Amino acid sequence: MAEALIWITGGSSGIGRAMVETVPFSSATVINISRSPCPGVVNLSLDLSDPLSWGKVACSFEREMLSHDGSTVILVHAAATVQPVCFAEDAEHLEAVRSVLLNSAVPQVLGSAFLSATRGRPNLKRVAIFLSSGAASHPYEGWSFYGAGKASIEQWVRTTGAEQRMRGGALLLAVAPGVVDTPMQQAARSAKAENFPQRERFVELHATGQLTDPNSVARRIWSLLYANYPSGSILDLRRL
């Protein structure tokens, strides 16, 4: 019997992959939800920017819960896109739609489905962790879609966490990891300066070794399971 049942969106790369590699439980069933597979875990190969995929994830929540007798269920939402990197008026239509769906709609829809599928067991620890960003509260010209998506995550977690404190008991956290050595950082450095005026800042962070190792960040995020933050907390690892 697995102690924990864990779904991780975007578990094939970046911080999502690091979360897969640093799962802190001695026995866990880990399900990666992404377009690309991740070795050593169960893979649910889906493009989350396609709304038709969302029902399949909800079915996975329901199906896996039928046989889970462990103490803990967790959703880690790490999937995101930084594209389009440009001023909003220059965004290509389909890229803009994909960003809004993946960065704003997916976390809310899947978060709701996770809470619905896992409720009704009083002794079950239920946790949903959503990756946020400093871009949720600070404007980065060229990242209007990405920043708005992260801001929507934080408000959804803030409000839904308050609901869970009233009824439900699940722990919801939004976590900004800081500057981490991931493909998203590579995208920021490779952007054109006219599309992303702060490009040089990200180039300098990389050149001066200020990017954090993804696995180190992942371990810190997992450690939040054992802290005493109230549901709905918005956390920045750089300030903890």
C-alpha to C-alpha distance for 26 and 8, rounded to whole angstroms: 17
Give the pLDDT score at 184: 80
Instruction: Read off the pTM.
Output: 0.95
pLDDT at 210: 84
How far apart CA 205 and CA 208 sit, in angstroms, is 5
**pLDDT tens, position by position, for the chain (240 residues)?**
799 999 999 999 999 999 999 999 999 999 999 999 999 999 999 999 999 999 999 999 999 999 999 999 999 999 999 999 999 999 999 999 999 999 999 999 999 999 999 999 889 999 999 999 999 999 999 999 999 999 999 999 999 999 999 998 999 999 999 988 888 888 888 888 899 898 988 888 888 988 889 999 999 999 999 999 999 999 999 999
Fold of the 4-177+213-239 domain? Rossmann fold (3.40.50)
Instruction: Give the end-to-end CA distance of the chain in Å, rounded to a whole number.
Output: 34
How distant, in Å, are the alpha carbons of 3, 91, 104, 109, 141 from that of 49? 31, 17, 10, 12, 23
In the chain, what are the domain boundaries? 4-177+213-239
